[in-house]
């Protein structure tokens, strides 16, 4: 029988608990839910265990799997279940059951509900050999149906019972589980690669960015190499957006409180903004978003229906207050620069414009960066309407227009409740790196409230004022988050056009330095980022360092190369390509950069 992956993982969690009970009979069990890529179980032991104990627990799990023990389900009254777990000295199970009996599911976490279920009068328990657990299931029929080579216990961590520091600290044992060994092998490879590709480690190694306590946490300082990455992406984005009909604007880094009250960000968004600066003419805030400023540009002169759609783009730097404990390298910062734009359009233009926005995303991800694994998430308002603009008809119409655009794009998407912006539904683009790490690359929103708050109108062909719709879009999100993703996706080996340093020229000896310097100068003259490495070191050492720094091309020159006006080419990941006439190599590298291969 073929089982869903969630069922497989849920069953692994029970086998883990059964193995722990055999090895540590005095164990007290919390909950053991399925999570992304696997499962975990929270336990309380009389003595601490560590990572060195995981292989022993794994071996016991494999013995249980081999024994072909059945997963036996039994329905029982909630009082009978309480009595059973009291008798077997499982206080955490008793607490859950009493809570379930008295309050239903209102006081239970989502993980607890997933594991236990939502029934109040009766509950289900599962028996696997000598192990009995409170669980709603389902499970495989017997342990032998679980692949013994497709799971791995991955780590041990601490976790407060039910997430409260007032409760006991439990030991949480994590495991990865899959249907086949090849899937586990791929996952384990990805985890190792993620460690190697950590953008913070590579950022330091490749000299891309740094942080300084004196500047403040979450405020990155871009080094020369990292600034090249920023500039190359920004320059190309400006070139592409010009072709797609965008016009560039620029706005200041601060604004009066009046502007953010007009936009509605105060009070809806105030907790994410830095405290106000009190000046002689009122309170000013650091800019947390570009849109209110751009709206004032739209308002600066009257617009006709012929002027629309108007696409205004800006690389705008914004500042948001994030708790210091949540900051994570470039992935979560307090200051970042967005590839932002706002499209002002008529209602009859919304769907076509939103479709173009999605196609622009597809262009960047698939064609430019080779990111094939991505999807969209349509975020809708939650049932609790207190956090959203109270305009039901506006919400309904906006959601319908966006949904049709997404369907027409032929790109994959899902829908999620409760993640919309306060002024309209939004579409997040989720991208996955080569090692499976998923990030939100950009957020795109349809705003039907801005026209009302800012009096954003256009004159129709009959001379009447009509409100505009505003599309907020940022295909590349922020430089900080997107570059962090690219660092990890490419493991620091950026495409040639994006690489901070594109070529090193390595003279073999002193006699070749002059020729090597000429080669470097000719490359630099046509804006190729080349560096002469003429230190008194062996060529072998320079090659190893160049490969360590992930330089796309290493050009070695000696007697033969000087005589033939050539260079010996080593290409990253491909090795020695042999000698090539320099003029031919120059034409080749220029073409590769222009085409952004």
Structure tokens at 141: 């029929």
| 229-246 residues labelled b (16+ CB within 10 A) or e (exposed) | bbebbeebbeeebeeeeb
Pair 350, 469: CB distance under 8 Å: yes
Report the percentage of the chain scoring pLDDT > 90: 80
> Total domain count for the chain?
3
Would you say 291 is a known binding-site residue?
yes
Residue 558 has pLDDT above 90, yes or no: yes
> What confidence tens digit (pLDDT) does each residue in 372-406 have?
899 999 877 655 555 545 566 767 788 888 899 99
Which pTM value belongs to this model?
0.81
Strand ranges, E, within 261-309: 277-279, 282-286
Active site residue 338: yes
Q: What pLDDT does 390 receive?
A: 56
User: What is the span of the domain harbouring residue 136?
Assistant: 5-191
User: Do 477 and 534 reside in the same domain of the chain?
Assistant: no
Active site residue 253: no
Q: What pLDDT does 588 receive?
A: 95
> What confidence tens digit (pLDDT) does each residue in 46-84 have?
888 999 999 999 999 999 999 999 999 999 999 999 999
User: Do 82 and 210 reside in the same domain of the chain?
Assistant: no
Which among 285, 344, 269, 289 has a CA at the least distance from the CA of 312? 344
The verdict on residue 235 lying in a domain is: yes
User: Do 307 and 449 reside in the same domain of the chain?
Assistant: yes
Q: What pLDDT does 415 receive?
A: 85
pLDDT band at 329 (very low <50, low <70, confident <90, very high): very high
pLDDT band at 119 (very low <50, low <70, confident <90, very high): very low
The verdict on residue 494 lying in a domain is: no
Residue 109 has pLDDT above 90, yes or no: no
CATH number at residue 183: 3.30.980.10
User: Do 183 and 233 reside in the same domain of the chain?
Assistant: no
Would you say 472 is a known binding-site residue?
yes
Residue 187 has pLDDT above 50, yes or no: yes
225 CB-near residues (< 8 Å, 6+ apart):
206, 207, 208, 500, 501
The verdict on residue 109 lying in a domain is: yes
User: Do 310 and 405 reside in the same domain of the chain?
Assistant: yes
**Which of 28, 139, 311, 342 does the annotation list as catalytic?**
342
Alpha helices in 51-157 (DSSP H): 54-66, 78-87, 91-103, 110-116
Average pLDDT over residues 481-497: 95
The DSSP bridge partners found for residue 554 are: 504, 570
Residue 4 has pLDDT above 60, yes or no: yes
Q: Phi/psi at 147 (nearest 5 deg)?
A: -65, 125
Pair 352, 406: CB distance under 8 Å: no
Q: Tell how strand 310-319 and strand 247-248 pair up.
A: parallel
Active site residue 426: yes
The verdict on residue 537 lying in a domain is: yes
Cα gap 374→371, rounded to integer Å? 7
Average pLDDT over residues 335-352: 96
Report the percentage of the chain scoring pLDDT > 70: 94
**Which of 10, 172, 230, 472 does the annotation list as catalytic?**
472
User: Do 451 and 528 reside in the same domain of the chain?
Assistant: no
> What confidence tens digit (pLDDT) does each residue in 240-250 have?
999 999 999 99
The verdict on residue 328 lying in a domain is: yes
Residue at a domain's end among 456, 489, 522: 489
Residue 115 has pLDDT above 60, yes or no: no
User: Do 306 and 380 reside in the same domain of the chain?
Assistant: yes
**Which of 21, 90, 338, 502 does the annotation list as catalytic?**
338
- How many H-runs (helices) and E-runs (strands) does the chain carry? 19, 28
Pair 114, 134: CB distance under 8 Å: no
Which among 520, 489, 485, 495 has a CA at the least distance from the CA of 595? 495
Q: What pLDDT does 545 receive?
A: 96
User: Do 131 and 243 reside in the same domain of the chain?
Assistant: no
pLDDT band at 434 (very low <50, low <70, confident <90, very high): confident
Active site residue 342: yes
The verdict on residue 199 lying in a domain is: no
**Which of 172, 265, 291, 303 does the annotation list as catalytic?**
291
Q: How far is CA 221 from CA 209, 210, 328, 484, in A?
A: 6, 5, 14, 14
- Range with lowest mean pLDDT among 274-278, 397-401, 404-408, 422-426: 422-426
**What 3-state class would DSSP assign to 18?**
helix
- Range with lowest mean pLDDT among 105-114, 153-162, 283-292, 463-472: 105-114
User: Do 10 and 85 reside in the same domain of the chain?
Assistant: yes
Which among 559, 565, 556, 548 has a CA at the least distance from the CA of 504? 556
CATH number at residue 372: 3.30.930.10
The verdict on residue 197 lying in a domain is: no
Q: What pLDDT does 2 receive?
A: 86
User: Do 461 and 551 reside in the same domain of the chain?
Assistant: no
pLDDT band at 106 (very low <50, low <70, confident <90, very high): very low
**Which of 152, 426, 529, 570 does the annotation list as catalytic?**
426
The verdict on residue 196 lying in a domain is: no
**Which of 265, 320, 356, 512 does the annotation list as catalytic?**
320
> What confidence tens digit (pLDDT) does each residue in 435-462 have?
888 888 998 888 888 898 999 999 999 9
Residue at a domain's end among 191, 214, 249: 191
Residue at a domain's end among 158, 191, 224: 191
pLDDT band at 418 (very low <50, low <70, confident <90, very high): low
User: Do 175 and 250 reside in the same domain of the chain?
Assistant: no
Cα gap 66→579, rounded to integer Å? 60
Active site residue 21: no
Residue 205 has pLDDT above 90, yes or no: yes
**Which of 42, 133, 340, 428 does the annotation list as catalytic?**
340
Average pLDDT over residues 530-543: 94
User: Do 149 and 43 reside in the same domain of the chain?
Assistant: yes
Cα gap 467→457, rounded to integer Å? 4
Average pLDDT, the chain: 91
């Amino acid at each position: 029988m073929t089982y869903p992956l969630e069922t497989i993982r849920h069953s692994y969690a029970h086998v883990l608990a059964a193995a722990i009970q055999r090895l540590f009979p005095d164990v007290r069990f919390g909950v053991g839910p399925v999570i992304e890529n696997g499962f975990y179980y929270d336990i309380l032991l009389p003595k601490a265990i560590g990572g060195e104990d995981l292989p022993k627990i794994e071996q016991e799990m494999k013995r249980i799997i081999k024994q072909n023990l059945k997963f036996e389900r039994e329905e029982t009254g909630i009082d009978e279940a309480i009595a059973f777990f009291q008798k077997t000295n499982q206080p955490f199970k008793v607490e859950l059951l009493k809570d379930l009996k008295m309050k239903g599911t209102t006081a239970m976490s989502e993980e607890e509900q997933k594991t236990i279920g939502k029934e109040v009068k009766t509950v289900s328990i599962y028996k696997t050999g000598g192990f009995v657990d409170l669980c709603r299931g389902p499970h495989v029929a017997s342990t032998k149906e679980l692949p013994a080579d497709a799971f791995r216990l991955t780590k041990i961590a601490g976790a407060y019972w039910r997430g409260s520091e007032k409760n006991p600290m439990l030991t949480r044992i994590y495991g990865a589980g899959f249907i086949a060994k090849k899937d586990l092998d791929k996952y384990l490879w990805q985890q190792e690669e993620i460690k190697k590709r950590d953008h913070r480690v590579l950022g330091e190694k490749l000299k891309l960015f740094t942080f300084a306590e004196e500047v403040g946490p979450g405020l990155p300082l871009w080094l020369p190499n990292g600034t090249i990455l920023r500039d190359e992406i920004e320059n190309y984005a400006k070139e592409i957006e010009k072709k797609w009909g965008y016009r560039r604007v620029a706005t200041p880094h601060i604004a009066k409180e009046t502007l953010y009250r007009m936009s509605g960000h105060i009070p809806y968004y105030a907790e994410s903004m830095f405290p106000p600066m009190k000046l002689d003419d009122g309170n000013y805030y650091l800019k947390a978003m570009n849109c209110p400023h751009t709206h004032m540009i739209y308002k600066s002169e009257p617009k006709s229906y012929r002027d629309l759609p108007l696409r205004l783009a800006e690389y705008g730097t914004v500042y948001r207050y994030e708790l210091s404990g949540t900051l994570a390298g470039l992935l979560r910062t307090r200051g970042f620069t967005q590839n932002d734009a706002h499209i002002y359009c008529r209602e009859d233009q919304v769907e076509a414009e939103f479709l173009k926005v999605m196609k622009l995303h597809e262009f960047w991800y698939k064609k430019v960066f080779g990111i094939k694994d991505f999807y969209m998430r349509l975020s809708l308002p939650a049932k609790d309407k207190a956090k959203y603009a109270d305009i039901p008809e506006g919400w309904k119409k906006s959601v319908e227009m966006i949904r049709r655009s997404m369907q027409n794009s032929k790109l994959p998407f899902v829908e999620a409740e409760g993640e919309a912006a306060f002024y309209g539904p939004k579409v997040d683009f989720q991208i996955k790196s080569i090692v499976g790490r998923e990030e939100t690359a950009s957020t795109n929103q349809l705003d039907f409230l801005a026209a009302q708050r800012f009096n954003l109108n256009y004159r129709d062909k009959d001379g009447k004022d009509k409100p505009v719709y505003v599309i907020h879009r940022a295909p590349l999100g922020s430089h900080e988050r997107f570059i962090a993703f690219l660092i990890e996706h490419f493991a620091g080996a950026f495409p040639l056009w994006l690489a901070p340093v594109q070529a090193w020229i390595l003279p073999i000896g002193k006699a070749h330095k002059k020729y090597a310097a000429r080669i470097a100068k000719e490359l630099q003259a046509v804006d190729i980022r080349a560096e002469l490495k003429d230190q008194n070191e062996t060529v072998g050492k320079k090659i190893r360092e160049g490969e360590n720094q992930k330089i796309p091309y290493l050009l070695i020159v000696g007697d033969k190369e000087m005589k033939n006006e050539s260079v010996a080419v080593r290409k990253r990941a491909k090795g020695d390509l042999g000698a090539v006439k320099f003029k031919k190599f120059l034409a080749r590298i220029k073409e590769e950069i222009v085409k952004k291969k």
